[in-house]
Amino acid sequence: MGDIRYDGRVAVITGAGNGLGRSYARYLAARGARVVVNDLGGGTDGEGNDSRAADTVVAEIRGAGGEAVPNYDSVATAEGGESIVNTALETYGRVDIVINNAGILRDTSIPKMSSDNFDILIDVHLKGAFYVTQPAFRVMKQNAYGRVLYTTSAAGLFGNFGQANYAAAKMGLVGLSSVTAIEGAKYNIRSNVIAPIARTRLTEELMGAMGDAFAPEFITPMVAYLVSEECEYSHEIFNAGAGRYARVFVGSAPGWTAPDGETPDVEMIRDNLERISSTEGFTIPANAMEA
Ligand code: NAI
C-alpha cells in the first residue's frame, strides 16, 4: 500500500498554535494538505489572545515547504466558527478536514465550580466544535467529502476529580460526533473522536518526568489516519498515548426483561440486578433506533 497523503485537501485545525494541534498541522502539511492554523493564542484558562501562536506554526510549516494560513478567531462563538471556515474557503476554496482540537481548563470541584467556569468550558470545547463543524459540514455535504475529528478525554469518558465542566463538555463531543457520523454517512463525511494523552502545556505539571514518553507526536499518526481519505471508520472513539492505540466504545448489554405484560416493582429490579448490570453479551449499537 502507498503512502497516505493529503494533496488537494484543505484542513482546518483549531487550537493548532500549541501542543497537539501544532503537531497535527505540521504533519498534515508535510504530507500535502493546505492547513488553516486556527489559534486564539490565550492562556491555558482561556484568558487573553495573541496572534503569535498561530503565526509561529504557519511560519514553521511554510519554512518546511508546506502551505498554511493563520486564523486568530475564538471557536467559542458562531461568528468565530464561520470566520475560521471562511478563511479556508477564501484562501483555498474548499474544506475537507476539520480537527476540533482547541481547548482550555478551569478545574475546581463541584461545590466550588462557578457558573462562569462551567459555561466557558462548554463554550470552547462543545459549542466551539459545533460552531466550526456546522459551516464546514455544509460545504462537505456539497462536495460529498469530509473528515471530521473531535477531541474527547479520559476525564470525559471515565470521569476525573475536579473536572465536572471539562468532562461534561468532552462527553458531549462524543454525542456530537455520533450524529455527525450518522448525518454525514450518505455524503462520504466521516466523523470520529480521539481521546489523547500527551505532554503539552495543559498537562505538563501533572506528568512531570514521566512526560518524556508522552510526546504529542505519538497521537498524530492516529489522528492523521482518521482524517485520511482511506479511513473507512466513522462513529468511533480511539484512545492514543505514549505509543498505545485502542478503541473505546459505548456498548449495551442484553440485561433483564420483565415478564410479558408485567410492570415490575422496585423489588423486582433489586432481585434482578445481577443480570441488569452484567456486561456479558454486549453489542455496540449503530444508532438510537438499534439500541
Ligand atoms: P494546548 O494548550 O497545548 O493547546 C490548545 C490550544 O487551543 C492552545 O494553543 C489554545 O490557545 C487554543 N485555544 C484555546 N481556546 C481557544 C479558542 N476559544 N479558540 C481557538 N483556540 C483556542 O493543549 P493540548 O494538550 O494540545 O490540547 C488539545 C486538545 O486535546 C484539547 O481539546 C484538550 O482538552 C485535549 N486533550 C488533551 C490531553 C493531553 O493529555 N494533552 C488529554 C485529553 C484531551
288 and 169 housed in the same domain: no
Whole domain around residue 154: which residue ranges?
10-248
Task: Look at residue 4 and tell me if it is in a domain.
Answer: no
- The pairing of strands 34-38 and 10-13 is parallel
Give the three cell numbers for residue 211. 512526560
Q: How far is the CA of 15 from the centre of ligand 1 (A)?
A: 6
18 and 68 housed in the same domain: yes
How far is residue 149's CA from residue 159's CA, in Å, rounded to a whole number? 21
Task: Give the SS3 label for residue 37.
Answer: strand
Catalytic residue (one of 6, 24, 166, 187): 166
CATH number at residue 16: 3.40.50.720
124 and 217 housed in the same domain: yes
144 and 161 housed in the same domain: yes
Q: How far is the CA of 251 from the centre of ligand 1 (A)?
A: 28
Q: How far is the CA of 164 from the centre of ligand 1 (A)?
A: 17
197 and 269 housed in the same domain: no
How far is residue 55's CA from residue 53's CA, in Å, rounded to a whole number? 6
Q: How far is the CA of 206 from the centre of ligand 1 (A)?
A: 15
* Residue 20 CB–ligand 1 contact under 6 Å: yes
* Residue 215 CB–ligand 1 contact under 6 Å: no
Nearest CA to ligand 1 atom 11: 41
Task: Look at residue 21 and tell me if it is in a domain.
Answer: yes
Task: Look at residue 2 and tell me if it is in a domain.
Answer: no
Give catalytic status of residue 92 as yes or no.
no
pLDDT of residue 72: 98
* Residue 126 CB–ligand 1 contact under 6 Å: no
111 and 153 housed in the same domain: yes
pLDDT tens, residue by residue, 238-289: 999 999 999 999 999 999 999 999 999 999 999 999 999 999 999 999 999 9
189 and 276 housed in the same domain: no
172 and 267 housed in the same domain: no
20 and 124 housed in the same domain: yes
pLDDT tens, residue by residue, 13-41: 999 999 999 999 999 999 999 999 999 99
pLDDT tens, residue by residue, 107-119: 999 999 999 999 9
118 and 186 housed in the same domain: yes
The residue with cell 478545574 is: 107
100 and 240 housed in the same domain: yes
**Using CB atoms within 10 A of its CB, is residue 42 exposed (0-12), middle (13-18) or buried (19+)?**
middle
Count of the separate structural domains present in the chain? 2
Task: Look at residue 5 and tell me if it is in a domain.
Answer: no
Task: Look at residue 180 and tell me if it is in a domain.
Answer: yes
pLDDT tens, residue by residue, 119-158: 999 999 999 999 999 999 999 999 999 999 999 999 999 9
* Residue 99 CB–ligand 1 contact under 6 Å: no
232 and 272 housed in the same domain: no
